[in-house]
């Protein structure tokens, strides 16, 4: 028998027992409310939310538990709160015969969003050392400051090469910004 990967959340949830479906619907709504800008997708065969194109949090339904995957960093930050549950490095199992800790799930999703925002704001870390120095010497440390310059102006900085521009354009695009024309 060939197993098929569901194409969306509704298909995934519909394939599970009714009691698990209801819990997953609550988890889904909790995450959507905590991070309204997150996008639903299926990743690794389970429901996932992406935020700014990056993995935010995953969840899955099983016979006796709900698995939540907020990557290792999300679980490390909530180690105390998760200590009473069975867990792995980047996963936790919430038994379905106990109340689902929706408040904790919301906190974990919001934490991951802030973490991804912080990483997005650190666009300089993706660049070579000469490119970082060139931008810093010009007083550019944020994407908003970068957007005030044209591609030509940035390319004229000593230490900036043509391979840097696509990285900068990608970082700007994630924030809804563009180089000055």
Give whole-number Cα distances, 148 to 74, 122, 129, 180, in Å.
Answer: 35, 18, 22, 6
Write the pLDDT tens digit of every residue in 120-164. Answer: 667 887 889 999 999 999 999 888 899 999 999 999 999 998 899
pTM of the model as a whole: 0.69
User: For 46-50, 60-64, 98-102, 114-118, which range has the lowest pLDDT when averaged over its residues?
Assistant: 114-118
Mean pLDDT value across residues 92-117: 94
Look at residue 99 in the predicted model and tell me its pLDDT. Answer: 96
Give whole-number Cα distances, 73 to 11, 17, 69, 76, 179, in Å.
Answer: 29, 31, 10, 5, 33
The SS3 call for residue 160 is: coil
Mean pLDDT value across residues 161-172: 91
Residue 178 · residue 147 · CB < 8 Å? yes
Look at residue 120 in the predicted model and tell me its pLDDT. Answer: 65
Write the pLDDT tens digit of every residue in 41-97. Answer: 999 999 999 987 788 999 999 989 999 998 877 888 899 999 999 988 789 999 999
Q: Report the alpha-carbon distance of residue 12 to residue 16 in Å, rounded.
A: 7
Mean pLDDT value across residues 18-32: 96
């Amino acid at each position: 028998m060939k197993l098929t990967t569901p194409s969306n959340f509704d298909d995934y949830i519909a394939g599970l027992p009714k009691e698990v479906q209801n819990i997953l619907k609550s988890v889904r709504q909790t995450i959507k409310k905590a991070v309204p800008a997150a996008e639903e997708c299926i990743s690794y065969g389970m429901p996932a939310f992406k935020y700014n194109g990056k993995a935010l949090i995953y969840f899955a339904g099983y016979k006796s538990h709900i698995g939540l995957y907020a990557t290792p960093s999300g679980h490390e930050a909530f180690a105390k709160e998760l200590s009473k549950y069975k867990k792995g490095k980047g996963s936790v199992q919430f038994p379905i015969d106990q109340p689902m800790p929706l408040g904790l799930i919301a906190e974990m999703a919001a934490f991951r969003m802030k973490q991804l925002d912080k990483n997005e704001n650190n666009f300089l870390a993706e660049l070579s050392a000469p490119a970082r120095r060139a931008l810093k010497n010009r007083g550019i440390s944020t994407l908003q400051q970068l957007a005030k310059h044209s591609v030509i102006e940035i390319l004229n900085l000593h230490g900036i090469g043509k391979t840097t521009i696509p990285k900068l354009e990608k970082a700007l695009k994630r924030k809804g910004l563009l180089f000055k024309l």
